[in-house]
Structure 1
Amino acid sequence: MSELLQHPSPPSTRLIRRSALVPVLALGLVVGTTACQAPQTTAEAPQGEEVMSAPIGDQTIVEGGDLVMALSAEPDRLDPTTSSSLYTRYVMQTICQKLYDINENGEIIPQLATDLPEVSEDGLTVSIPVRDDAVFADGTPFNAEAVAQTIDRGLNLEGSSRKSELGPIESITAVDATTVEVTYSEPFAPLTAALADRAGMILSPAALAANGEAFGDSPVCVGPFKFVERVPQTSITVERDPLYYDAENVHLDTITYRIITDSNIRAANLRSGDVQVADTISTQDVGELMNEDGIGILQVGSLGYQGITVNVGNTDGVGAPPGVIDTPIGTDPTIRQALSMSIDREALVESVFGGYNETACSPISPASPFSTDASEACPEYDPEAAMALLEEAGVEMPYKIQMQVSNNPDTIRFAQALQAAVTEGGFEIEILPVEYSTLLDVQDRGDYEILQLGWSGRVDPHGNMYNFLSTGGGANYSGYSNPEVDQLLTDASQSNEIAERSELYGQAVTQVQEDNPIIYLYRVRSLTGYSTDIAGVETFADGVVHLSNVAFVEAG
């Protein structure tokens, strides 16, 4: 399996370290129906088996070239502190490295850090060693002070989506040029996992000083590539950064991310050679593409979920104190329970996705080491009982709801199947398709009744739950607030024992399934198409397509 980055590993870099965080952060994880098998690295795998990469191996690299990737939706602003889009992570993966990353086994590994953190016996002081050979794309030296400034921005920038991911930090100090010290008021186990995501993408201090809140219009980080331009609703272009510390292992001249929202058009562009990589291949197209010469398919299970978010208190925007919603479904958990009970998840997913995706009933994947019977339990499918609950709630039937969804063929197809499925439970769903970027704004503002969106998933359950379900969380789009859930999630974040954390997360899931601010439906199988005249493309369980070390290769 080729690595994301072919950077040198100094003697202090290793995957296991005697630290209070290791029991929850240095875990091997293979996601999908073949979780007990080694992931395959060829495109000839049957449906459902993990294919995470198309390795370069002994193929002859053709240096240079311009690669085009088709994106199924437009990224939001290219600012790691405020971003909430998976598609932004695709772009940032090439231009904005993190302190840590995950590998094909779900293990957290150093990237801009040189080792996993050292943690004091009381769990309150975390020391992070960082590289001494990196430079930002604008020539500014990378050092511990830049790391401290980025983490501080995640905590304090108005509108930050990272604050609740970073935990109860009291102070951040650059001890010296290569050491950052983070002090906590209470232990916080998920820190390293958070720093393997957007919170750990380190931003150029010079660019922050020059651009402030407009940083995302022209982002500057450390990475194999650097930002060139963005044409709204059309494309984003990055080019090779000669200042990158491992530039000799970067092979492409440029990457252009072209926005192509229609899955049929993405597939057609892949066939024609106009694009070399395409994300989110439709389950309706993947069978034919797998049988075509010159095209390979990566297929990887997900740590995330797709679901229905119900507005139960988002009256003043995400992160604001919850308000009072004036819709029956927003105020009465009985109606939300009835909606959940009206959905035959297994039949729905099988009929729409033909076995490629999997049902989901909680934010914790069954492949996670934190999975328990409680987190895997599914609400009963019982449309007759659902109708009885609606009668008990005293609402007119069929109970009508407006559901906003992303305006792409696969999502609308699923929404239509869901619309038909819940009629037996006494519901009538009106589907309102909107552009993906608009849908992100809608969920931020709370300008919706229910909406269908998902989350790409993180290796630590904290990243799939706390931000979305804790009172005032940076991604709590539903406006949900339950003190019991807040306490369970906080307690879980302060423990270093997998069994204890798993039990607490299971209790939280049980309560969330009673309240249903999010009704979990299914987990996607990330299907990424690529042309076989390139190699080095990877997709892991967090859903991000990795292009940093991709190269054109000579035909075999």
Structure 2
Amino acid sequence: MKFSSQVGTRLLHTAAAGAAVVLAATACQPIQALEPAPEREDITSIPIGDREVREGGDLVMALSAEPDRLDPTTSSSLYTRYVMQTMCQKLYDIDAEGELVPQLATELPEVSDDGLTVTIPLRGDAVFADGAKFNAEAVRTTLERHLTLDDSSRKSELGPISSIEAVDETHVRITYKTPFAPLTAALADRAGMMLSPKALEETGKDFGDHPVCVGPFKFVERVPQTSIKVERDPLYYDAANVHLDTITYRIITDANIRAANLRSGDVQVADTISPQDVDALMQEDGVGVLQVGSLGYQGLTINTGNTEGVGEPVGEIDTPLAQEAAVRMALSMSIDREALVNTVFNSWFEPACSPISPASPFSSELSEDCPPYDPEGAKALLKEAGIETPYAIEMQVSNTPDTLRFAQALQAAVADGGFKLTILPVEYSTLLDVQSRGDFEMLQLGWSGRVDPHGNMFNFLSTGGGNNYSGYNDPEVDQLLKSAAQVNDDAERAELYGEVVQRLQEDNPLIYLYRQRSLTAYTNNVAGIETFADGVVHLSNAAFLADSQELEGEN
């Protein structure tokens, strides 16, 4: 087990002196004996290769949760990204190796020597699904919307932009107040999805009811809590490489029903296969599984000041959990991450202690360090803070079987540290609303991850950030995050992000728990499916295999 030598430093400046003695003298409790987690090999695609495909057909994908609004400016759900991937291409994307590659742009951005001017070259052959031309002015319009729409979740992802200019039809120039290194990575996600200016003018804030973008497919209809359908867009610039007629995303929240529909052939792709089912599923004929490690995390968000809604000024919550860093640290110390994850998820997932994956080039010793597992020390911290135990906390979670299984195991585990968790299960889409409104004491949710740590941290941790659901407010963290975004050297950025993690492990507005492994199942009569470390399943170039090869498959 790793320990951060600095964890608790600032906390102990304000806690009673006796607490410092307790922390120093209490040994880390050993994690229960477990079988070592097996090495997992990433399988990110089932390529078509030289196999013959059958043109046309309707592919059905089972989604484990309903997407939120189909508006790239405001959405926050991973499942929305699944659907938008086929409809709304971005200026950039990531590939199987996690490298940034052009999509609607033609090259990586050209950055001036002072880092303040960024010029992006654009495709000249793309049009939106409504026939509007894709050009630099359309890019400018989209980015301005991301920056100015009242409930935009993209504003803080794009950095301190001072102006956006359409230089000519195929070049857009972005000028910054200070350098902003994460821009390309931001434009490889929702901030880079380009929206039809014609549709924006006609629909305004209602764009998400009928989104219009550049993509292999275009929106057809949405039946709430049931399905979303897209169809092939004949105006797409690379339509010759699109094989399916339609894709239907069917909402099937129960993992057992998703697996049953996959076995019956009623669906051809299913996301988020349960670690309880995946081993058996991988042994079945006619079914394959893609798997890849995650850049994201699952964790506990503690409401420390989100009283008026995300992005609004921080308020005061008069509870020890919200106000006392000692209480939050004690909660973190009560969690044996490795034992919980290996036991609940059959060693398919990995413990996590920070928002930076160890696989990231921005990882460091500080970002990989874990708080001690020390339930006796946790109880001592609570005692020194004058907290009567067991200290009660209400935790809201999504009502999926795997999440509830983990929540119940966590509930039992933290009791040893002096806590009493009450679990309140809610629908996933409801939980997204709950965290935005700040209508919670603590909740368990995650983030699918971005290739640049800025995308995993700034929005969630900076004061007023678009995803700062905790209502966290720390000027030093704000400054560290801003400084990291202004530096182009990866090693220097990694060091700064490590310092942020160090501060987080003192304050714990977010308690990081584990990283999922994306498990996507498919039937062996389809190919051209991909899934990368950002968690998104790509179906744009998927196809049904010709009849003579439908049963060959890949296991």
Query: TM-score, normalised to structure 2's length?
Result: 0.92
Q: SS of the counterpart of 2:411?
A: helix
1:351 is matched with which residue: 323, 343, 351? 343
Q: Which residue in the other structure is 1:280 paired with?
A: 272
Partner of 2:482: 490
Kindly report which structure 2 residues correspond to 1:66-465, keeping only aligned pairs within 5 A, or say none.
Answer: 66-465=58-457
Residue type at the aligned position of 2:531: T
Identity of aligned residues (%): 75
Determine the C-alpha separation between the residues in 1 that align with 2:121 and 2:140.
12
In 2, the alpha carbon distance for the partners of 1:263 and 1:386 equals: 36
Matches of 1:534 and 1:427 in 2, distance apart?
A: 49
CA distance in 2, matches of 1:185, 1:141: 30
**1:473-512 correspondence runs (5 A):** 473-512=465-504
Q: Distance in 1 between matches of 2:470 and 2:535?
A: 23
Q: Closer, same or farther in 2 for the Cα pair 1:366/1:320, shift >3 Å?
A: same
- 2:531 maps to 539
**Mapped contact 1:404–1:451 kept (Cα < 8 A):** yes
| 1:18-58 alpha-carbon deviations (Å, 9 max, x no partner) | xxxxxxxxxxxxxxxxxxxxxxxxxxxx8621000001111
Superimposed CA distance per residue, residues 420-456 of structure 1 (whole angstroms, 9 cap, x where no aligned partner)? 1111001110000000010000000000000000000
CA displacement at 1:395 relative to structure 2: 1.9
The code of the aligned residue for 2:374 comes to D
Alpha-carbon RMSD: 0.7
Structure 1 runs not aligned, ≥5 long: 1-45
Structure 2 counterpart of 1:142, one-letter code? F
Secondary structure of 1:336's match? helix
- Partners in 2 of 1:408 and 1:103 — Cα distance? 30
- TM superposition shift of 1:524: 0.2
Structure 1 residue identity aligned to 2:306: N
Separation of aligned partners in 1, 2:237 and 2:311: 38
Q: Indicate if the aligned counterparts of 1:333 and 1:514 stay in contact, CA closer than 8 A.
A: yes
Q: CA deviation at 1:515?
A: 0.4
User: 3-state DSSP class of the match of 1:207?
Assistant: helix
**1:88 Cα deviation after fit:** 0.2
In 2, Cα distance between equivalents of 1:69 and 1:391: 51
Task: Give the whole-Å Cα distance in 2 for the aligned partners of 1:225 and 1:186.
Answer: 37
Aligned positions, number: 511
Determine the C-alpha separation between the residues in 1 that align with 2:309 and 2:295. Answer: 27
CA distance in 2, matches of 1:552, 1:345: 41
Shift of 1:161: 0.3
* 1:520 pairs with 2:512: yes
CA–CA distance in 1 between the matches of 2:212 and 2:503?
Answer: 42
Q: Distance in 1 between matches of 2:117 and 2:101?
A: 20
Equivalent residue of 1:48, what SS? Answer: coil
* Larger Rg over CA atoms: 2
> What code does the residue aligned with 2:202 have?
A
Q: 1:499: how far off?
A: 1.0
Q: Secondary structure at the match of 1:490?
A: helix
- TM-score by length of structure 1 reads 0.91
2:256 is matched by which residue type in structure 1?
N
Equivalent residues of 1:98, 1:111 under 8 A apart: yes
Q: Give the Å deviation of 1:390.
A: 1.0
Q: In structure 1, what is the Cα distance between the partners aligned to 2:416 and 2:109?
A: 53
Following superposition, the deviation at residue 218 of structure 1 comes to 0.3
CA distance in 2, matches of 1:262, 1:417: 20
What secondary structure does 2:521 align onto?
A: strand
Q: Which runs of 4+ in 1 moved over 6 A?
A: none
* Kept after mapping to 2: 8 A contact 1:47/1:356: no
Offset of residue 168 of structure 1: 0.3
